A and B are shown apart, each in its own frame.
Chain A
Amino acid sequence: AQSVAQPEDQVNVAEGNPLTVKCTYSVSGNPYLFWYVQYPNRGLQFLLKYITGDNLVKGSYGFEAEFNKSQTSFHLKKPSALVSDSALYFCAVRDRGTNAGKSTFGDGTTLTVKP
C-alpha cells in the first residue's frame, strides 16, 4: 500500500521569508511524487513532480522540492514567499510498480503568508 503524510496542517510565514511544506511517503517500490496547489473553491493545479534523476526539482511559480530517498521525503520549498502563495498544498505519490496510475494524496497543508 502507498501512503503520504503531511505532518503540518498549517504553515505560517512572513512575506519574503523562505517557506517549507513537508511531505513524507511510503511505497513498496520506487515513487513518482507530485505537488499540487488548491485555491479556495477551485480544482488542484500541478506545481512539480519527481520522476527520476536530479533530487532537486524545480516547478511553477518559483517552487522547488527535494527528493530524499533515505528519509522518504519530498518537501516543497520556496526561497522567498509571497502573499499570493497562500493556499492549500497537497503532496501525492504513485508507486511505479503496483497501483499503476493511482495517486494517493496527503491531507493537505494550509500555507498562510502574512505581509
Chain B
Amino acid sequence: DGGITQSPKYLFRKEGQNVTLSCEQNLNHDAMYWYRQDPGQGLRLIYYSQIVNDFQKGDIAEGYSVSREKKESFPLTVTSAQKNPTAFYLCASSVGLLSSYNEQFFGPGTRLTVL
C-alpha cells in the first residue's frame, strides 16, 4: 500500500450523518483520486485532483464532496445526500494527471457501512 494511508479502516454511519474519510500520501504526488468499489464491480471514480485547491468530479460525484488544501491530503466527505453509501472506498495517487501513463498507488481502503 506504499506511502498512502487511509483512516479509519472501518467506519459506521447512521442515516442522515455526514462522514469524512481521510487520505494522506507522502509520495510527493500531484494527482490524487477517490474510488468507490462495490462487490462484483470495478472501481468507479468519485473525484480527482491534479493540484492543490483544484479538483474535478468523476463519474459518480453526487452525494460526495472533497477538498485539496494540501498536496499530501485529499479527504472525502460522504454526505447524507448519498443514498447508498455502503461500500469500500479507495484513495489513490499518481505522479501527475497529465502524464497519464503513470500508474496509480492505492491506499488500504476504508469500509463504510450505513447502519
In the complex, chain B residues whose CB is within 8 Å of the CB of A4: 42
In the complex, chain B residues whose CB is within 8 Å of the CB of A44: 43, 90, 92, 104, 106
Task: Show the binding face of B for A, using Cβ within 8 Å.
Answer: 1, 4, 6, 31, 35, 40-43, 45, 48, 50, 58, 90, 92, 94, 96-101, 103-109, 111
Interface size class of A (residues with CB under 8 A): 20 to 34
In the complex, chain B residues whose CB is within 8 Å of the CB of A103: 45, 104
Bound form: Cα–Cα A95–B40 in Å = 24
In the complex, chain B residues whose CB is within 8 Å of the CB of A90: 42-43
Bound form: Cα–Cα A10–B34 in Å = 26
Closest approach, in angstroms, between the C-beta of A8 and any C-beta of chain B?
Answer: 13
Task: Show the binding face of A for B, using Cβ within 8 Å.
Answer: 4, 9, 32, 34, 36, 41-46, 49, 51, 90, 94, 96, 100-108
Query: Can you identify 12 A-B contacts, CB atoms within 8 angstroms?
Result: A32-B100, A32-B101, A34-B104, A41-B109, A42-B1, A42-B108, A42-B109, A45-B106, A46-B103, A49-B101, A100-B98, A105-B35
Bound form: Cα–Cα A41–B94 in Å = 21
In the complex, chain B residues whose CB is within 8 Å of the CB of A94: 100-101
Closest approach, in angstroms, between the C-beta of A91 and any C-beta of chain B?
Answer: 9
Bound form: Cα–Cα A82–B108 in Å = 24
In the complex, chain A residues whose CB is within 8 Å of the CB of B40: 9, 107-108
B103 and A100 contacting across the interface, CB-CB below 8 Å: no
Partner of A46, one of B97, B105, B109: B105
Bound form: Cα–Cα A51–B99 in Å = 11
Bound form: Cα–Cα A51–B100 in Å = 10
In the complex, chain B residues whose CB is within 8 Å of the CB of A106: 42
B103 and A49 contacting across the interface, CB-CB below 8 Å: yes
| A101 and B31 in contact, given A42-B1, A43-B90, A45-B106 (Cβ under 8 angstroms) | yes
